[in-house]
Homo-oligomer: A and B are copies of this chain.
Amino acid sequence: MTRSMEEIRKECPFPIGEENTMFAQYFSKKSYTEVLSGGPLGIVNVTFEPDCRNNWHIHHGAGQVLLCTAGEGLYQEWGKEPVALKPGDVVNIPAEVKHWHGATPGSWFSHVAIAVPGEGTGCEWLEPSAE
């Protein structure tokens, strides 16, 4: 369902955190991050304002799992149609697959992102996904 930032704060069990300035260059609009765990698994709660998407990107070496917690989101793999995301949805993003995720144009969206551990992993940021 369409959600405002205040509704996301109530609906999402995890803190919204601070504005994501470190990776802002790879996001089309504002996003917010709260690190839930630094190890042994890197777990971050990511919240997107409406219509915010990250750039196309690739997780090399090991993938990422998204646990959707609030609002309405989108996920797209290269060469496929975008998939709608709602709270409770889980996305297993395989390593080496070019993709993006973010909020729908009309709603805020939150997901927990869990990095799959592996040797020599890293994220390769590519071109914007927004038209």
Interface residues of A (CB under 8 A from B): 11-15, 36-37, 39-41, 43, 62-63, 65, 67-70, 87-88, 90, 92, 112, 114, 116-117
A1 to chain B, nearest CB (A): 12
Q: Are B13 and A70 in contact (CB under 8 A)?
A: yes
For residue A41, which residue of chain B has the nearest CB? Answer: B65
A67 to chain B, nearest CB (A): 7
Q: For residue A43, which residues in chain B have a CB less than 8 angstroms away from its CB?
A: 65, 67, 90, 114
Q: How many copies does the complex hold?
A: 2
Q: With contacts A37-B92, A92-B40 known, is A68 near B117, CB below 8 A?
A: no
A120 to chain B, nearest CB (A): 16
Q: For residue A68, which residues in chain B have a CB less than 8 angstroms away from its CB?
A: 13
For residue A94, which residue of chain B has the nearest CB? Answer: B40
